[in-house]
Every structure is written in structure tokens, then in C-alpha cells.
Structure 1
């Protein structure tokens, strides 16, 4: 199965790459502001994005309907969260730091 992975340009993490894991194995490095096509191995079940010690929750491959996903920082688009919650996201919320969403 081929999917298109989109990482928008966000100020947070602009100098760092995200790593995309499928069933716990790295299959791609996602750079800021890029769109790339990735072939998932047959029988893949979960996706997860990782940056340093932080990650996204696991995302089920069967939930990818359009063949496109967006991987982004979960707080960068909200000014309040970007100013007041970074310490939460790098400590207790480290598994919610990134977000994977389906793209329409």
C-alpha cells in the first residue's frame, strides 16, 4: 500500500526530522515542509511518528482512507498551547507530542 505523507511547515521542530515507524520499524525520515510517497510493507498494522524521545500515539493503517496522512506537531498551531504547554508535551505528554491525521 502506498501512502502520501505530508509534513507542513511549522515553526516548532523546524530544524529536526520526524521518523515514521511502521509496526515498530523505521521506514522513512520526514523533513519539514515535504510531501513524500511511502510504500508500506504488506500486512502493516500501525504507524507512529517519532522525534527524539517524543512520539505520536499509534495510528491504525486501516484508518487511512484517502491514502494521505499529515504528520505534525500537536501544539504548534495553537498559540496558547505553544506558549504554555511545551513542558507538558516533552514530559508527561511525550506520547502526544506529534499527531498523525488523515488528509482529505
Structure 2
């Protein structure tokens, strides 16, 4: 089982993020939402997407009866001032995803 918790932020507050597991869309997570998804035991890669932008990919190993938690969000703080850079050259860092 994985849990993805989205933090509050100004950017993309009206949009959902797609949760991508092993190259396939698993579901979505909305503003200030926490979503849980069942995953098979084994090695996986997870990232988030919104339009053509995404987060960095994270590899993890899941085990039977284990919940792995992730926090995520969009641009915040001073990073928001560089929006044009993030939606062009830095599009793979537009969203952030961290294992808790």
C-alpha cells in the first residue's frame, strides 16, 4: 500500500496531480488530499504528472502489509518566481515528491 499526501500550495490549487506508478496512471491526488493505493510487493517507480510537467522519479521496494507514505506539492516560496523556467527547462522538477 502507498499513501500520497498533497501539501497545500498556491500553484495548481484547482488541479489534480496524476500519480504514475511503473509508467501507468494509478490515480489522482487533489489539493490537501491524501490518497491510498494498493500496490503489489516488489520494486516500483513512482512520480507525479500535471500536463507536460512532473516530479522526479522515486524508486522504492514495497512489502506485504506495509504502507509507504509520500508527501508532494507544487512550486512554493521563491521557486514560484521562476515559473517560466520550471514549465520549460525544469519541467521534471515542477512538482516535488518525497518519501516520508
Superposed pair shares fold, TM > 0.5: yes
Q: Matched residue pairs, number?
A: 97
CA deviations on 1:51-80 (whole Å, 9 max, x unpaired) are 0000011111239x972101111x31x2x2
What is the CA–CA distance in structure 1 between the aligned matches of 2:67 and 2:36, rounded to whole Å? 13
Q: Which has the higher strand share?
A: 2
What is the CA–CA distance in structure 2 between the aligned matches of 1:98 and 1:31, rounded to whole Å? 13
Write the mapping of 1:50-65 to structure 2, written as runs, cut at 5 A.
Answer: 50-62=49-61
RMSD: 1.9
TM-score by length of 2: 0.87
Gaps of 5+ in 2: none
What is the CA–CA distance in structure 1 between the aligned matches of 2:34 and 2:89, rounded to whole Å? 30
Gaps of 5+ in 1: none
Write the mapping of 1:1-104 to structure 2, written as runs, cut at 5 A.
Answer: 2-62=1-61, 67-73=68-74, 75-76=75-76, 78=77, 80-83=78-81, 85-103=82-100
**SS in structure 1 at match of 2:61:** helix
User: Which aligned runs of 4 or more in structure 1 are off by greater than 2 angstroms?
Assistant: 41-44
What is the CA–CA distance in structure 2 between the aligned matches of 1:66 and 1:60, rounded to whole Å? 15
What is the CA–CA distance in structure 2 between the aligned matches of 1:56 and 1:71, rounded to whole Å? 9
What is the CA–CA distance in structure 1 between the aligned matches of 2:29 and 2:98, rounded to whole Å? 15
Deviation at 1:42, TM superposition (A): 3.9
